Each structure stands twice: as C-alpha cells, then as structure tokens.
Amino acid sequence: MAGPFSRRPAAKPKDVGKTLKRIMKYLLAYRLQLAAVAVSIIVSAAANVAGTYFLKPIINQYIVPYIGSNNPDMTGFASMIGMLAAIYALGVAGTYAYNRLMLNISTGTLYKLRTELFAHMESLPIKYFDTHTHGELMSRYTNDIDTLREMISHGIPNLFSSALTVTGIFAMMVVLSPVLTVLVVFVLILILFVMNKIGGLSAKFFRNQQKEIGRVNGYIEEMIEGQKVVKVFSREQIVKSDFDKINDELFHAAANAHTFAGILMPIIGNLSYMLYSLTAAVGAIMSINGYIDIGTIASFLQYTRTFTQPLNQISQQMSSILTALAGAERIFEVLDEKPEVDEGIVELVYARKNDRGELEEAEGYTGMWAWRQPQKDGSVIYSELKGDVRFEDVTFGYEENKIVLDGISLYAKPGQKIAFVGSTGAGKTTITNLINRFYDVPDGKIRYDEININKIRKAGLRRSLSMVLQDTHLFTGTVMENIRYGKLDATDEEVINAAKLANAHSFIMHLPQGYNTMLTSDGANLSQGQRQLIAIARAAVANPPVLILDEATSSIDTRTEALIEKGMDTLMEGRTVFVIAHRLSTVRNSNAIMVLENGRIIERGDHEDLIAKGGKYYQLYTGMFELS
C-alpha cells in the first residue's frame, strides 16, 4: 500500500475556494444524486465503525461466559453474528452506492465541462492560438480533465468517507477507554512527525524526478522528429551519449524519490504495530486490575489497527484533490478567456436583381452576394459584393511597441491580382490576417467595398474570402469531405469540378478509393504537394469573390505548377486575389506587385515596371538578393 507521502507532490492551486465554488456549480445539477451519495457515505462509515464495536458485546456476553460451558445456548450468539453480518453488508451496499453514483456524476459533469471547453475554444480569437502551444491546450482535455475526473469520482467521496470514519473511530475509542485513547494520540503524533519528515524528503526528490522525466521525454521526442538529420550526419553515438547523461540524472532522482517513499510505509507499519502492542499491554494490565473488560480491549485494539488507514487515505486524497484543483484552474483559465468580439452590423446575404434591376435578398445561392447594411432610420440598403479592398494608412503590431506594418496604404480593385513579396517578417501574411479580421487594426482603416471591415460581421466577411495557406491542414475524412469543407452543401459534381480546376483530379483518381479514400493524420498518406492541391480545390469549391493565396504553390514542383497555372487563372478570373510568394515566377502576371521591407511598401507596380526601375524587386528577381 502506498504511504501518505509516497505519491508525487501535488500541484498547488492558486485559489482553492474560488475553484471549488465553480466546480460545485456543475455538481449541483445532480443535487438529488449528491444527497444520495452523502447518505450512502454516512451509512458506509457508520457500518464500519459500528461493526467493530459489536465485538465488545459478542465477547463479553457470549464468548467469555461460555468458556468451559458444556451446553451453551448459541441462539443469541448466532443472532449477534447475523446482525454483524447485516451491518457489514449494509456498509458494502453504501460503499457501492456512493461509488456508482459518483461515477455517473463525474461522467456527466466532465461531459458538460468538456463540451463547454471545446465550444468556448472555438470562439476564441486567433491571437490566443498564436500565443499558446497546441500541447498546452491539449493538456486541458487530457491531463487536467483526467485529474478532475479522479477527484470527483473517487477523491472527494473517499475524503469524506475517511474523515467520517476517523471521527467515528476516535469517538468510539474515547467512549471505550479514554486512558488508552491518550496513548494512541501520543503515538499518533510520533507517526505524523515521521510521515512529515520522510514524506518531505520524498516529495523533494519526486519534484526532481518530474523535472528529469520532462527532460528525458523532450529529448526523446526531439530525436524521434530529427532522426533523418541524426542519421545524415552520423550522430547516433553522440545522441546516445547525451541521452545516457540525462537518463542517468533521472535514474538518481527516481532512486532517491522511491527510496524514501519505499521506507516510509514499513516505518509507519512498524510504528502501528508498536502502537498495537503497547495498547494490548496497557489494556491487559488494566483488565487484570479490573479497570476494563476483555470485549472492550478487543474492540479498542481493532479500532487501533484501522485508525491509521483512513488517515493515510485522507493524506493521499488531499494530494490528488489539490492536483485536480490546479488542473481545474487551468481549464477555467481557458473558459475565462474573452471570446472573439464581433460588433459588426453589416451582413453578407444571398442576393438577386428584381425586375427593376434593384438588389434584393434571396433565400438561396444565386451566384450573387450582397452586403445588407441596416440604417439608423430602420431601413436597409443592399450593395453588391464586388471585392474592392483598400488599406488606408494601416499601422499594426502583434505586440505593443513592436510594429509589423507601418503606415500601409494599398488598394485592390475587383478582379485584380495583387502580389506581396519580401523577406520573412516583412509583414506579408500580416496583411492577409488583417483582411480576415483575425486581428483588428488599432490605427488606420481597411475598407471592403467601401465599408469599414469593423462594421462587417466576421462570419460574413470570412465567408466572402477563401484562403490557401502554406501550412495545409486536412481533416480526418475522405478526400471528397475535405474538399467539400470549403462549401458544405457542394454536390459531388461541384467537388470534382473544383478538383479538376486545381489539377488534383488525376492523382485523386489514382488513390485506392478515389474520392472516397480516407485521409488521416493530417493527410500523412499524401505528399505535401498533393495535400496543397486538395487545399486549392477546397478554396475553389467555395467560389469566393476574394481569394488569398499564402505560398499556395510552395510545395508543388515547377512542372505541376505549370500544369495548374491555367486552372488557377480560371479560378482567379473575376476575383480579387492576394498572392504571397517567395517564388517570384508565380507573381509575374499580377496587376500590381508590392515589395515589403520592415513593414513598409518600398516598391509597387507590375512586373515590367518594377524590372525597369532596377530596384529591390529587380535585384530579387535576377538573383542579386534572395528571399529568406
């Protein structure tokens, strides 16, 4: 059995009271079941305490008087044994009942909490995900939820059960013999002192062990990811040597931690036996002198044997509860994050032109979109979605005092293709993030069809745009489902046409099940180029008026790029397109090319104009400078 300090040290919650109150709000949805749990715990603890007390009347009234008797009447004795069995059976039933009920309560509570956590996570702004690692967020759903489940289903009920049992046992010990109880208290103080000293050392080394485990796991993960590099440079022996060093540190930390944890229980066990022996000796002397009877000694000794067990459980449960509360605080920290604010009033709607040539709202897709703009007098104005995007002296930084875009002004007329080139960190992707309103601009304005984008509802704004990112993400599902993600009501024919447009149809048909081929692990069974082609098809099926291509062809070879160029031109026809590219050959046919450096536009014009100027673009294009 693990000792009270043989577990790993608990993580400390910042505000126990506040966190418990928030958890109780979820638990109170199960008021009746919690009441039944309380009754079951009381019945279980009372049965355990009462069962031991029954040894006194059984011994004093039936066993001692019948010693040496030839024909004892065992009727009363059998009745007492039956009653004792019934009491213990009632205790077992109570223990089963509260454990089963708490399992239902914990499962339901965590289902609701997990649902709220995921729903709230989906409402958070992109900034939150840019500033928190994926592993950090995943730990909320795994480690923190799991420790909370353990606390609700086992920790809290066992804590109350143990507390009631200790209280009941101590009260019965006082009733049976105050003198022997004083002896127990003195030895108990000694036991707690030893537990605290040795447990403190164990906790110290367990902290070191956890630290070293983190180092070992991190090193192993890094080496697994970098196996190709390790083998290319023949660094196997050096990697093994480095691993041996940190593994040795873990070995010593774990050995010390488990050494102290391992000796704690034998010491506590021996002290418990010493207490039992002292109690028996003192009780025997008192019995010989007529101060106490045999039945009382038997009951008291049994209480002595069971007294330390619930104390041990209380110590263990307090540790797990503190760890769970720290995990709960991390969950609530995510839930307390402010969701993405959307104060827009302009909505994107399906539209059509009536007989008078005026725009009006339509119920379904007509191939035409319009901005629905409510006016102060209650009237509504509809304006056609064209894709006219303008930046007016926009200044922006992800952090204070760290400017990424400095006074950017540009325009993209409907149907124009605008390209951004420049080195990494120049601000190219930031411009597209602002168009999507992933971030809002503190200075300057961005207008979309002459409407300030802060007034446009984010859902409508983003529905009017489609993006193909450099880091392609595919979901678990079929190829068909991944392409249809761009337009959930797209027919199979529309999906196939979009794939053909992106030049993805050919390789898809060569997959084992064609469009029904399952993709898993972010499309690990496809090449990077194939994944990007599917992403382009996903953007094509959405059929948006504005298209953003962020290094969309970076993972496609030049031959494939040439094959899809016509398809991309068809896709971009009539649309406002923003292109970010390191491969300058992909932006030559742009209407305007913006060269960015340190957050500023230092050159603008079409390909021929910029080449003729002989400036930065000319240097980049001719290879005098390289994009990095």
Give tens-digit pLDDT for 185-215.
Answer: 888 888 778 777 776 676 677 767 767 876 7
What confidence score (pLDDT) does residue 9 get?
44
- Can you give the pLDDT at residue 138? 81
Structural domain 16-335, CATH architecture: Up-down Bundle (1.20)
Q: 10-22, pLDDT tens digit by residue?
A: 456 677 788 889 9
In this structure, of 14-28, 457-471, 576-590, the range with the lowest mean pLDDT score is: 576-590
Tell me the pLDDT tens digit for each residue of 301-356: 888 888 777 777 776 677 678 778 888 888 898 899 898 888 889 998 888 888 88
How much is the pLDDT for 147?
Answer: 83
Quick one: pLDDT band at residue 62, thresholds 50, 70, 90? confident
CB atoms within 10 A of CB 70: 5
DSSP secondary structure letters along 48-116 = HHHHHHTHHHHIIIIIHHHTT-SS---HHHHHHHHHHHHHHHHHHHHHHHHHHHHHHHHHHHHHHHHHH
For residue 405, which phi and psi values (nearest 5 degrees)? -115, 130
Report the relative pairing of strands 389-396 and 443-448 from DSSP bridges.
antiparallel
Between residues 317 and 108, the one the model is more confident about: 108
- The whole-angstrom separation of Cα 413 and Cα 320 is 61
The pLDDT score that the predictor gives to residue 7 is 41
| Tokens 């040496």, residue located | 68
| More confident call, 196 vs 126 | 126
Fold classified for 389-621: Rossmann fold (3.40.50)
Paired residues of 465 in beta bridges? 546
Over the chain, what is the mean pLDDT? 83
pLDDT value for 143: 78
- Taking only the tens place, the pLDDT of each residue in 473-498 is 888 889 999 999 888 888 899 999 98
Percent of residues, the chain, with pLDDT higher than 90: 13
Q: What is the mean pLDDT of residues 164-191?
A: 87
**8 pLDDT exceeds 60?**
no
The confidence score (pLDDT) of residue 101 equals 92
- Rounded to an integer, the average pLDDT of 288-303 is 87
Decide: pTM greater than 0.85.
no
Domain ranges of the chain: 16-335, 347-384, 389-621
**Residue 2 pLDDT grade (very low, low, confident, very high; cuts 50, 70, 90):** very low
Tell me the C-alpha distance between 307 and 184, whole Å.
9
What is the average pLDDT across 606-614? 86
Per the model's pLDDT, the better-predicted residue between 225 and 114 turns out to be 114
Q: What is the mean pLDDT of residues 217-229?
A: 79
Confidence of residue 92 (pLDDT cuts 50, 70, 90): very high
Evaluate the CA torsion angle 228, 232, 236, 242 in order and state its sign: negative
Cβ(509)–Cβ(441) below 8 Å: no
Q: What is the mean pLDDT of the segment spanning 144-153?
A: 86
481 in helix, strand or coil? helix
Query: What's the pLDDT score for residue 626?
Result: 47
pLDDT number for residue 628: 43
Coil vs helix vs strand at 553: coil
What pLDDT is stored for residue 137 in this prediction?
A: 80
| Mean pLDDT value of segment 271-291 | 84
pLDDT for res 562: 66
Average pLDDT over residues 528-550: 84
Write the CB contacts of 135 (distance below 8 Å, at least 6 apart in sequence).
Answer: none
Contacts of 120 (CB under 8 A, 6+ apart): 334, 335, 337, 339
Q: For residue 278, what pLDDT band results from cuts at 50, 70 and 90?
A: confident
- Name the pairing type of β-strands 347-353 and 380-384: unpaired
CA distances from 555 to 225, 227, 279, 427 (A): 20, 22, 80, 21
Q: At 132, phi and psi to the nearest 5?
A: -130, 135
Q: Which of 563, 510, 577, 499 is nearest to 535 (CA)?
A: 499
User: What number of CA atoms fall less than 13 Å from residue 168's CA on the CB side?
Assistant: 21
pLDDT at res. 353: 86
pLDDT at 515 over 70: yes
Q: Which pLDDT band holds residue 558 (cuts at 50, 70, 90)?
A: low
Residue 568 has pLDDT above 80, yes or no: no
Structure tokens given for 381: 């104005």
Does residue 204 or residue 141 have the better pLDDT?
Answer: 141
pLDDT digits (tens, 9 = 90+) for 417-434: 888 888 777 788 888 888
Q: 25 and 334 in contact (C-beta within 8 Å)? A: no
Tokens 């992933």 correspond to what residue?
438
Q: Letter for the amino acid at 609? A: D
Counting residues of the chain whose pLDDT is more than 70, the rounded percentage is 91
